[in-house]
Amino acid sequence: MASTPIKQVTGKGVFVPGDDIDTDRIIPARFMKCITFDGLGEYLFHDVRKTESGETKQHNLNDPRFANASIILSGNNFGCGSSREHAPQSILRAGYNAVIAGSFAEIFFGNSTNLGVICVIASDADRQVLADAIERNPDLEITIDIEDHKVHFGDEFIKCEIKAGARESLLNGTYDPLDELLQGAADVTKVTDALPYMQQS
**What integer best gives the mean pLDDT of the chain?**
91
**CA-wise closest residue to 20 among 100, 99, 72, 77:** 77
- Identify how many contiguous H helices and E strands the chain contains and give both numbers: 8, 7
Half-sphere exposure of 20 (CA within 13 A, CB side): 1
Question: What share of the chain in percent tops pLDDT 90?
Answer: 73
Residue 2 located in a structural domain: no
Strand partners, 157: 152
CA atoms within 13 A on the CB side of 67: 3
In a domain, residue 43? The reply is yes
For residue 105, give the DSSP letter.
Answer: -
In a domain, 191, yes or no: no
Angle between the N-to-C axes of helices 164-172 and 106-115, in degrees from 0 to 180, rounded to the nearest 10: 10
Q: Is residue 201 part of a domain?
A: no
* Number of domains making up the chain: 1
Looking at residue 152, its amino acid is H
CATH code for the domain in which residue 154 is found: 3.20.19.10
Better pLDDT: 35 or 134: 134
CA distance 77 to 22: 8
The conformation of residue 52, written as its DSSP 8-state character, comes to T
Question: Domain span at residue 13?
Answer: 8-173
Please indicate, yes or no, if residue 145 is contained in any of the structural domains.
yes
What integer pLDDT is reported at residue 92 of this predicted model?
Answer: 96
Q: Give the pLDDT confidence score for residue 200 in this predicted structure.
A: 65
Q: Tens digits of per-residue pLDDT, 51-89?
A: 888 899 999 999 999 999 999 999 999 999 988 889 999
33 lies in some domain: yes
Q: Is residue 51 part of a domain?
A: yes
Model confidence at 116: pLDDT above 60: yes
* pLDDT of amino acid 47: 92
